Amino acid sequence: MGRFITFEGIEGCGKTTQIRLAAAWLAKRGVPVLATAEPGGTPLGLKIRDLLLNRSAFSVGAEAELLLFAAARAQHVRQAIIPALRAGQWVLCDRFHDATLAYQGYGRGLDAGFIRTLNGFSALSVSPDMTLLFDLPVETGLARAEKRTAGIRPEAAEDRFEQEDRAFHGRIREGYLTLAAGAPERFRVIDGAADVETIHREVCRHLAALF
């Protein structure tokens, strides 16, 4: 079996850049890697991503949003993550079930107990070996995220969550930190406000511990 490592954090926390660097670092050491993301990672997941992240002409309620993230995850785990782990690959996943607790639980206020049950169901009981949480102030993250989407056409910007108010993002940051405090054996909290190279070194240190 390979290793399953998830990357989490608020908008603009730098996790996507860090996955790219970590995948290259592992590949250089001969480790077979699958770098993937949620929602996404399968044709169905990408369609759901499009429905959920782009600003759309139709409304998506919190309950429907939760179920769509869960549907994308179930397909992703079955079709991509389990086969990769069985083939001995290290799976680096940009967000996983902690994002659902942070965003739909702490952010939207949906019932955490129900989300945990749904998370177990949609993840087919697969759970990360390690979760790297990139923590930084909401203002810093949102400013970075805005910069990233500035040059993109509004209909392609994937910024529906970025449009939420500061309090929403504040609840998500606190939610992630609470989740990390509740599972210290799985979480590693990394200062996401540091520079890319410093963060990368920290990520490699944690990955090396899994060899």
Per CB under 6 A, residues contacting ligand TMP are: 11, 37-39, 53, 69, 94-95, 99-100, 103-104, 161
Please, what sign has the CA dihedral across residues 93, 143, 58, 56?
A: negative
> Of 28 and 153, which CB lies nearer to ligand TMP in the complex structure?
153
> Of 167 and 208, which CB lies nearer to ligand TMP in the complex structure?
167
Output the smallest distance, CB 34 to ligand TMP, in A.
16
> Of 87 and 183, which CB lies nearer to ligand TMP in the complex structure?
183
CA atoms within 13 A on the CB side of 186: 19
> Of 119 and 209, which CB lies nearer to ligand TMP in the complex structure?
119
> Of 37 and 132, which CB lies nearer to ligand TMP in the complex structure?
37
Cis omega (within 30 of 0) on the bond before 83? no
Output the smallest distance, CB 208 to ligand TMP, in A.
25
C-alpha closest to that of 204 among 31, 39, 13: 31
Q: Which pair of tokens denotes residue 118?
A: 């749904």
Report how far residue 101's alpha carbon sits from residue 74's, in angstroms, rounded to the nearest whole number. Answer: 16
Report how far residue 133's alpha carbon sits from residue 13's, in angstroms, rounded to the nearest whole number. Answer: 9
Q: Are 3 and 22 in contact (CB under 8 A)?
A: no
Output the smallest distance, CB 29 to ligand TMP, in A.
26
Output the smallest distance, CB 162 to ligand TMP, in A.
7
Q: Are 45 and 76 in contact (CB under 8 A)?
A: yes
Q: How many helices (H) and strands (E) does the chain have?
A: 9, 5
Output the smallest distance, CB 30 to ligand TMP, in A.
28
